[in-house]
């Protein structure tokens, strides 16, 4: 059971696909109290590309996980496609997530006992029937992992695992894609190819993209740039 149920209802314009208000995440480590994310407000419109930059440890991943409904805030609200994420029953939230949201994790989170192909198709299975049977082949080709589909994660390089994680995040053609340093393990050329693919997919699906990146040149291609410092989010 979630802690933050409230009956407060607010009107979110249909175009504001992602809204967070007063979002905070605190951690206690012994005597110290860290506000990894401190009172963040954010509104992203449908189809926008928002980039989040900031130093290591500033709270970017923590924020992204909460925005995607993967981690519960200490306080505050997240509305995705008009739904109050942390006011939904767990089951409804996980269905909503698997159908609407794609997430590329900073550390891939591939299941070690499954091959690349099985990892990608698992996401599709969880979301229900396969609507796009050929999309896996297309994605694998575009991401240059078509010759790696039957390998286990331990048999792939970091960059290859990252591209499998990208395919897994895109396989359900999500309305909103969160990407946490998706180019962190790629060389310059592969990184450029991946960004191009993400931007093409975004245009094709009218997808909203929220990306954490260390790369200023990637951030400059976003519609909006946010910086995170000591848990505090500001728009540039």
Ligand X SMILES: Nc1ncnc2c1ncn2[C@@H]1O[C@H](COP(=O)(O)OP(=O)(O)OP(=O)(O)O)[C@@H](O)[C@H]1O
The reply on whether position 162 binds ligand X by CB under 6 A is no
Instruction: Report whether 194 contacts 166 (CB < 8 A).
Output: yes
Q: Between 58 and 191, name the residue whose CB sits nearer to ligand X.
A: 58
List 38, 43, 58, 61, residue binding Mg ion (CB under 5 A): 61
Smallest Cα–Cα separation from 141: which of 102, 87, 84, 197? Answer: 197
For Mg ion, which stretch binds (CB under 5 A), given 99-107, 121-129, 182-190, 196-204? Answer: 99-107
Enter the tokens of residue 58.
């500033």
CB of 53 to Mg ion, least distance (A): 11
β strands within 1-74, DSSP E: 16-29, 32-45, 49-54
Q: Between 12 and 70, name the residue whose CB sits nearer to ligand X.
A: 70
CB of 61 to Mg ion, least distance (A): 3
List 50, 51, 60, 208, residue binding ligand X (CB under 6 A): 60
The reply on whether position 109 binds ligand X by CB under 6 A is no
Instruction: Report whether 19 contacts 59 (CB < 8 A).
Output: no
CA distance 226 to 228: 7
Backbone dihedral angles phi then psi of residue 38, each to the nearest 5 degrees: -125, 100
List 59, 69, 73, 76, residue binding ligand X (CB under 6 A): 59
Q: Between 28 and 206, name the residue whose CB sits nearer to ligand X.
A: 28
CA distance 179 to 116: 19
Chain residues binding ligand X by CB under 6 A are 27, 29, 34, 36, 54, 56-62, 106
């Amino acid at each position: 059971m979630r802690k933050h149920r409230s009956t407060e209802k607010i009107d979110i314009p249909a175009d504001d696909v992602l809204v967070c208000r007063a979002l905070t995440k605190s951690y206690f480590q012994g005597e110290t109290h860290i506000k990894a994310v401190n009172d963040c407000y954010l509104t992203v419109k449908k189809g926008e590309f928002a980039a989040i930059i900031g130093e290591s440890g500033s709270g970017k991943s923590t924020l992204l996980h909460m925005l995607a409904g993967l981690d519960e805030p200490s306080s505050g609200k997240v509305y995705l496609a008009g739904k109050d994420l942390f006011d939904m029953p767990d089951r409804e939230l996980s269905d909503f997530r698997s159908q609407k949201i794609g997430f590329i994790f900073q550390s891939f989170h591939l299941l070690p006992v499954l091959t690349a192909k099985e990892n990608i198709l698992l996401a599709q299975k969880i979301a229900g029937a396969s609507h796009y049977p050929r999309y896996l082949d297309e994605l694998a080709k575009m991401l240059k992992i078509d010759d790696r589909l039957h390998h286990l994660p331990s048999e792939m390089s970091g960059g290859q695992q990252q591209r499998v994680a990208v395919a897994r995040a895109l396989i359900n053609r999500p309305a909103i894609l969160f990407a946490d340093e998706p180019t962190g393990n790629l060389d310059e050329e592969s990184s450029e190819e991946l960004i191009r693919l993400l931007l093409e997919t975004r245009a094709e699906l009218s997808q909203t993209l929220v990306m954490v990146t260390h790369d200023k040149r990637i951030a400059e291609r976003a519609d909006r740039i946010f910086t995170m410092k000591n848990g505090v989010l500001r728009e540039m």
